[in-house]
Chain A
Amino acid sequence: MIRGMNGQTNSPARLYEGLRLIGWSGSVGIVGVLLITIVAMLATRLTPHDPYARIAEAYLPPSETHWFGTDEVGRDLFARVLVGVQSTWLASLSVIIFSLVLGSLIGLISGATGGKVDFLVQRIVDLFLVLPSTMIALAAVAVLGPGLLNSIIALAIFWWPWYARVSRDEIRRLYARPHVEAARAAGVPGPRLMLRYLLPGAVPSLIIAATLDVSNMIMALSVMSFLGLGQPAPSAELGAMTARSLDSLTVFWWIPMLPAVALFFLCFFSNLAGDGLRSVLKGT
């Protein structure tokens, strides 16, 4: 599908062209995102230390045995950051994928049906979009009770409308194109028209929107845990770890800093990867 969008076939020249379009920054981003995903999957197996057990003295600075030092309780900070990356990364990916799928389908139906259905769906989407989604999600978590699963649910409920809007606009744009008119004139039935003639055309924009959105999602999740609405205290969560030890920044800098640096790289790489993908999919 991507191949078709750019008129590319499998040949070395096309592959080279694809890589050139991604550019070095996009390549760094994509490699970075892949590494982070692998690290997130393996997390606990990459370190001998238990992230939840007190294994050494508190406030040890980074050293050979404890690469990131130990925290205020004496837990290994490296192990905790790894587990934090795991939960933050996987949580944000699951919210994004859920929103992407739900939003795309709603947008597809709304855009392809048009008329009153489209109007109604889009006003509902408007309703969601005018609310500050992070704030509302915070309120929802406050009601549901803190916890990773609850924050995922709360964010997912308020995150899809944006994708529905992106998807619907792309579908409307495609709908007016001659090739869709031709498919309609050929008598392609509605569901088939949507899935084969419309949706593939909207996928590049949706993927780009999603990759650039990952960092927003990571921030939203971190804000939640920073405010104490994420996972409860003993669990390792990057935003929460930074928040809890922020007042020791000047003395034991590594305790708040290193989780924050990990967060930074998560956002940074996903943004680079999104930019690279945009270049390939849009061919600019």
Chain B
Amino acid sequence: MVDPVLTVARLGVVLARNGERHRVLDEISFAVAPGEILAVVGESGAGKSTLGAAIQGLLPNDGSAPEVSGSIRLAGLEIVGSPPQLLRSARRSLVRAVPQDPMGALNPTMTIRRQLHESADGDEALILDSLRRAGLSDERRIARAHPHRLSGGERQRVLIAMAMMARPKLLIADEPTTALDVTTQAQLLQIVRDLAREEQTAIIYITHDLNVAAAVADRVMVLFGGRMAEIGTLRQVARSPQHPYSASLFAARYDLNTDRSRPLPTQRAAFRHGETSDRGCGYVLHCQIARTDCSSIRPRERRARAHSGLVACHRSDEMPLPTLPVAASREAWTGEEVTDGPVALQLMDVHKHFPANRQRVWESPRLIPALRGVNLSISLGQSVAVVGESGSGKSTLLKIAAGLIAADSGRVSCLDPRPQVIFQDPVSALTPWLSIGDQIGERMRPRVTSAAERRRRVGEALQHAGLDPSLMHALPSELSVGQCQRAIVARAVVVPPKLLLCDEPISAMDVPLAAATLNLLNDLRRRLGLAMLFVTHDLAAARIVADRIVVLNKGAVVEEFEADMLQSPFRGAVTRALIEACPSLDAMLAR
């Protein structure tokens, strides 16, 4: 076996957050060989990004210095405890990173060419060649451009080109495709795979999406609460997970073949610091096969029985789990599908243009069509998903339906004068200085004047959304992201609207949280008989949440079909391309 590029041994990181010290990583050990892609998976807060930062010697230092123990050897160089100059040169030549937010990582005042030049020594030919190999076919235009002229996918490819130009031994990709649509994501994953194969670069691919991990990685490492739960080849771990947490993580994912007639399996595990003692297993509170010694003796990593990797669990011999780790009831959804109710939203021949950026001050702005003659109608009790690549006009469609912007022409009629919107980022959709209860109660204000009655109904709505009613007195900052999303759903349904509009509500969430949110929306819209419009680029989510799927391309509806008919052989080219771009773990296992 070739020498590993990276060897991490018993890595521990303690970071200070808000004046409290937390052990973010705890005795992590693993190695990555040249040309190998290791996926690091786990829910938000598991320590995935901290691991990436530690390997680059870039741990955040706000106020008090991070405590790092153990060792990180990168191509023979010890990272832990190295002086800053050495780390800087290591970052220049040995390890490069591709971050999640490509706009924030590019300098808006410099052209792409200058930034590439700055980042690695190389002449014009090398710069153009790197851009081309990162999948940018018109490399000359890209090189001349400033970052704001490029699309999100182009920016992310520029960052990959920038990282690969330095021919690093190790590339750390931290959720690089989370902000991109599936088509772009599929192309980027292909590029990442090619780079690993052709350049023998070792790649650590951090993601919360197991389907993405399956599409790109050779091996997978599962983190929970800063500790390694399991590591092994992806195929083996996915087939027979040996840690109860990995098992529930793999069971909670959904893809194009998931049963949509019942709620998705979810798991409640969400790690909180200080919840368990350092001595026992971190997963003990959520584990269904835990015994008393699990909370007192910390499980060490050992050879897994069913695969060639390592697992840190006392009870891994008892795997697979006797029952699926399911928190929600798995009864099939009840309630008839409504097909001929009153029409809640109708769009007829809706057009919308936006002025494009002017290239020159004296030019009159060109108009770019966002929607070109869209027809759409949703009956009460029906759920319709609008899918499409970014730039297909789906967000514009939602904003017009919500009445937040006006259409240029066409007719928009909505049964509800005030349709409710669920936004993509739940945290920024809550006012930070008002309590949850105040914000939810706001929607009843004109009708329900008694404060006690309002409080009672807010409590009810919170319960509907799966939250403790006592949270009505909390401020948004005291809630987790998942709780914020539930609070927003509670606000939307406290006075049941006729029409509920969802704008990519799950695209930034990890899988367990996304599954829980989809279940919640599915449950509420059935229980309250709402019409729902769900905008997403994720076909798998669209299929689960909607009765009917509308495919939008370049501002026009290209196809409209029942969700169950998604995989029918009669689908058009645009839909087929979207389906093919969807990464799927099951498809990988079937190959």
Contacts and interface: CB of A to CB of B under 8 A. Distances in A.
A25 B418 CA distance: 50
A7 B488 CA distance: 18
Given A9-B478, A16-B19, A183-B442, A1 B433 contact: yes
Contacts of A17: 18-19
B443 interface: yes
Contacts of B491: 182, 186
Contact of B429 (A4, A182, A188, A201): A182
Interface string A3-45: 1111111000110110010000000000000000000000000
Interface string B3-42: 0000000000000001110000000000000000000000
Nearest to B433: A4
A193 to B, nearest CB: 10
Majority secondary structure of chain A interface residues (helix, strand, loop or mixed): helix
Interface string B402-440: 101000000000000011110101001111111000010
Interface in B40-64: 63
Contacts of A13: 18-20
A229 to B, nearest CB: 43
Contacts of B20: 13
Given A13-B18, A17-B18, A187-B418, A178 B442 contact: no
A116 interface: no
Contacts, number: 79
A4 B477 contact: yes
Contacts of A8: 18, 477
B402 A185 contact: yes
B432 A7 contact: yes
Contacts of A178: 423, 425, 428-429
Nearest to B423: A178
B457 to A, nearest CB: 14
A188 B433 CA distance: 16
Nearest to A203: B433
Contacts of A123: none
A6 B423 CA distance: 22
A197 B430 CA distance: 10
Nearest to A13: B19
B569 interface: no
Contacts of A282: none
Nearest to B434: A196
B475 interface: yes
A187 B443 CA distance: 7
A185 B432 contact: no
Question: Residue among B19, B445, B477 with the most chain A CB within 10 A?
Answer: B19
A186 B478 contact: no
Nearest to A182: B429
B446 interface: yes
Given A182-B491, A185-B421, A187-B446, A197 B63 contact: no
Contacts of B439: 183, 186
A173 interface: no
A183 B431 contact: yes
Contacts of B430: 179, 182
A182 B428 CA distance: 10
Question: Residue among A7, A179, A188 with the most chain B CB within 10 A?
Answer: A179
Contacts of A5: 432-433
A200 interface: yes
A6 to B, nearest CB: 8
B18 A179 contact: no
A14 B18 contact: yes
Contacts of B434: 4, 196-197
B402 A7 contact: no
A14 B475 contact: no
A181 interface: yes
A3 B18 CA distance: 13
Contacts of A187: 418, 442-443, 445-446
Contacts of A14: 18-19
A192 to B, nearest CB: 8
A188 B428 CA distance: 18
Interface string A169-192: 000000001111111011110000
Nearest to A177: B428
Contact of B442 (A6, A181, A188): A188
Given A7-B475, A13-B20, A186-B443, A179 B418 contact: no
Interface string A202-246: 000000000000000000000000000000000000000000000
3 closest A-B pairs (Cβ-Cβ)?
Answer: A7-B477, A4-B433, A17-B19
Interface of B: 18-20, 63, 402, 404, 418-421, 423, 425, 428-434, 439, 442-443, 445-446, 475, 477-478, 488, 491
Given A181-B404, A181-B423, 12 more contacts: A4-B432, A4-B433, A4-B434, A4-B475, A7-B477, A13-B19, A13-B20, A14-B19, A179-B428, A179-B431, A182-B423, A196-B431
Interface of A: 1, 3-9, 13-14, 16-17, 20, 177-183, 185-188, 196-197, 200-201
14 contacts: A7-B432, A7-B478, A9-B475, A16-B19, A179-B432, A181-B421, A181-B423, A182-B488, A185-B421, A186-B418, A186-B442, A187-B418, A187-B445, A188-B445
